[in-house]
Structure 1
Amino acid sequence: MRLFAFALGALAIAGAAVAQQQPSQQTAPIKPSVTTPDSTNPMAPVKGKNSFTESQARDRIEQKGFADITNLKLGEDGVWRASAQKNGVPISVALDYQGNITEGAL
């Protein structure tokens, strides 16, 4: 009986040691479905189904300081794109489904 108890205890200790040696699973960083005023997805513009209407897209872009927004179109990738001006400089602008606004030279 002692041998059985000893073997059972040894198995319990060995099992605990193996469990501690398993590598921890790392999860991918969480991507927000919507950006907040103090955050932006560094992978923007993010492709995906966009629920912003043309009017909502224009308003969001204007709120970020862009003016004279023209050629605002929703692309097949789900990203709104337009030509605009910021501080009098012509620029291209994009708005993705998360609300990220990115800009680039025309």
Structure 2
Amino acid sequence: MFRTLAVVCLTVGLAGPALAQNQPAKDRPNNNAVNSSGQNNSNAPVAGRNSFTESQAKSRIEGAGYSNVTELKKDDNGVWRGKAKKGGSTTSVSLDFQGNVNPAK
């Protein structure tokens, strides 16, 4: 009796982890906290807590093809705003917490 009970417990104990395996992740839209340059997920800056430093914001904007980035300041919505040059003209630009770089409209 003891031996049968031990075999049953051992079998159940070994089968448990096999039944508890994680299912594969389901397909869903890509919504990264930080996007790669050129992969904006918004045409306008998205408000939210921004963890970019001023130096990181400047580098991110330059990585999007802008140069001579100046006057960077974080507004009340957590969006970095400043001026930058692209294509020979100076324009206002923004960088939101998701990494979206947009010219001002």
Per the TM superposition, whether the score is higher than 0.5 is: yes
Name the CA distance, whole Å, in 1 between partners of 2:44 and 2:30.
14
Q: Taking every aligned residue pair, what percent have the same amino acid on both sides?
A: 47
Q: Which residue of 1 is the match for residue 76 of structure 2?
A: 76
Q: Which residue of 1 is the match for residue 33 of structure 2?
A: 33
Cα deviation 1:24-56 (Å, max 9, x = unaligned) = xxxxx6643222346321253100000000000
Name the CA distance, whole Å, in 2 between partners of 1:59 and 1:39.
16
Distance 1:57 1:100, change over 3 A: same
Q: TM-score, normalised by structure 2?
A: 0.64
Name the CA distance, whole Å, in 2 between partners of 1:91 and 1:67.
11
Residue segments in structure 2 that go unaligned for 5+ positions in a row:
1-28
Q: TM-score, normalised by structure 1?
A: 0.64
Q: Aligned ranges for residues 88-99 of structure 1 at < 5 Å?
A: 88-99=88-99
Q: CA RMSD in A?
A: 2.1
Q: Which residue of 2 is the match for residue 62 of structure 1?
A: 62
Distance 1:89 1:97, change over 3 A: same
Aligned-pair CA distance for 1:69: 1.3
What's the secondary structure of 2:61's corresponding residue?
Answer: helix
What's the secondary structure of 1:85's corresponding residue?
Answer: strand
Distance 1:37 1:67, change over 3 A: closer
Cα deviation 1:43-94 (Å, max 9, x = unaligned) = 5310000000000001111111111211100111000000111021111100
Name the CA distance, whole Å, in 2 between partners of 1:57 and 1:33.
14
Residue segments in structure 1 that go unaligned for 5+ positions in a row:
1-28
